[in-house]
Amino acid sequence: MKCFDIPVADLAVYKCSSVKYSIGIVSVLMQESLQERTSRLRAAVKLLAESTEEIIQAWESEHKPYPVDIHFGADVTSQPSTGSTVPSHELYEARRRSLGAMGVVTELVHDPRMRLAEMTMEFYESRAFHIVAEARVADLLDERDKQKGVHISELSKLTGVKEQKLARILRTLCTVHVFREVSDGYFANNDTSATLVNDEPFRAFLLLNSQEVYEASAKLPEVIFDPLKTNSESVLVTPFQVATGKNLSLWDWMEQPEVLEDGTLAPKPLLDRFMLAMVGAGRAQGPPLYEDYPWSQLGNGTIVDVGGGVGGMCIDLAKRYPQLKFIVQDREGVITNAPSIWQRDFPQALEEKRVVFRQHDFFTEQPVKNAEVYNLRYIMHDWSDEECIRILSSLRPALGPNSRILICDQVMNKTYQPNTNSGSFNAEGSNVPHGTLAPYPLLANYGIAHRFKHFRDLNMLTTINGRERTAEEFESLAKKSGLEVVKVWECRGIVWITELRFCKI
């Protein structure tokens, strides 16, 4: 039971130097009774203790704290380990329960004003991270004595950043457990910062987030409060246009060459970085997609990767499922780069003619008919409902009886606990389960364990007026395109697979 009726008047007196400032009457409303609060905190601590113990036992039984190596190697040519990078179902569940419980504990034990103040300045962690990633501090540390660390004076010389400023930046990150200060002024990687070492695709993904996305995000309030822009679904009316000062979509802007100082034109460096970042994001978030869908049942079927970029997902699938064949489609400016990436990363697939590359605009009718899979990874979330319906409707005529469309995108869930006895979200009138409900006292969507899903949702809003969707929203898009959702495959990560089939209308 909520208790909204206990106003407590509190005279806040603030002390600054030796002067006392009364800032007046502050009204504090208790939203939750003492009993509700204590029982919620006890339940969260219990869940945290139980789930972290499960995690420890899983590490001990496997003799390692990660499923496999966390380092992939020097560049896009290096391949992730062939072993699984996906945690067991039990470990995955224990992880998200413990993180969700930590969110509840933080909410209840932290000073609320201090927590909000911290939230408003968390961008400094992102800024600090951007600087160290740009300066390749993790790589520099990796080359040296990992126990002793590297003195800040030396890191300063290697990066060109003033010593005391670099130390403050690194300590900001050490404070949130990224890097570690092993002794006074000596810094080393911890397991988190070490994931950056020699992994160009992952670094490109993190730099994209912490630079271009960050800069556009600064314009989000301006666009959200603009009475006209707030109502627009156009890809040309987003904070990205305000940030770049150009009336071009993210895709067109990236592909437009830039004018160099000598007047010559050159491709924007961001174009390469973006494509590399998609490979890095795929490696970080993709593996559950490859294991939690029955790809092997497709035999030697064909996957048409619609808007497939340079084919990052197909490379990973091709390595795991040697029977599958691939057609990667994208815009001309992107697809022309794909063969060289495959040549470096997985030439065998080219030699065996398991992959072809085609320029194709996904708003026009799909030319490849009757393929087993039309794959849409990170596509729907780029577009408005109207445009998604155009993309799906352009695929529908190509579907044969054995074809399916796989939407590989996040599936969003609400935060409140619905009144249901089942352990999964379900929409009214739908037979399709929409994902696991977290147990009490966690938020239904596991709270902070899945906060990156919400960051990505706002990222889509910021850069291209796109959105992450709930399963109900996918069902509605499917219906309007003459398709139906047959299953939501809940994968062990933030991206799931929503399977659509032909529906007679």
Ligand X SMILES: C[S@@+](CC[C@H](N)C(=O)[O-])C[C@H]1O[C@@H](n2cnc3c(N)ncnc32)[C@H](O)[C@@H]1O
Q: Which of 430, 426, 475, 425 is nearest to 450 (CA)?
A: 425
Quote the tokens at residue 255: 């592909």
* Residue 389 CB, nearest approach to ligand X (Å): 14
Q: What's the burial of 283, exposed, middle or buried (CB within 10 Å: 0-12/13-18/19+)?
A: buried
H helix intervals, 374-450: 385-395
Relative to beta strand 355-359, strand 258-259 is unpaired
Phi/psi for 173 (5° steps) reads: -80, -40
Q: Decide: 311 and 342 in contact? Cβ < 8 Å.
A: yes
Quote the tokens at residue 272: 């390469």
Total count of residues recorded for the chain: 505
Quote the tokens at residue 271: 């174009």
166-174 long-range Cβ contacts below 8 angstroms, 24+ apart: 169/128, 169/131, 169/132, 170/128, 170/132, 170/137, 172/124, 172/125, 172/128, 173/125, 173/128, 173/129, 173/132
Peptide bond connecting 441 to the previous residue in cis, omega within 30 degrees of 0: yes
Catalytic residue of the set 63, 110, 360, 381: 381
- The verdict on whether 381 is a catalytic residue reads yes
* Residue 119 CB, nearest approach to ligand X (Å): 28
Local structure of residue 87 (DSSP, 8 states): P
Relative to beta strand 355-359, strand 325-330 is parallel
Q: Which of 192, 247, 239 is nearest to 212 (CA)?
A: 239
Angle CA 182–188–189, to nearest 5: 130
Which residues does 293 contact at the CB level (< 8 Å), separation at least 6?
406, 489, 491, 497
Integer Cα distance of 391 and 403 in angstroms: 16
Contacting positions for ligand X (CB under 6 A): 251, 278, 282, 307-309, 312-313, 330-331, 334, 361-363, 377-379, 382
Which residues does 215 contact at the CB level (< 8 Å), separation at least 6?
243
Q: Which of 366, 375, 371, 437 is nearest to 409 (CA)?
A: 375
Integer Cα distance of 204 and 208 in angstroms: 6
Q: Which residues of 228-248 are buried (b: 16+ CB within 10 A; e: fewer)?
A: ebeeeeebebbbbbbbeeeee
CB atoms within 10 A of CB 225: 9
Report, in angstroms and rounded to the nearest whole number, the Rg of the chain calculated over CA atoms: 25
Catalytic (active-site) positions: 381
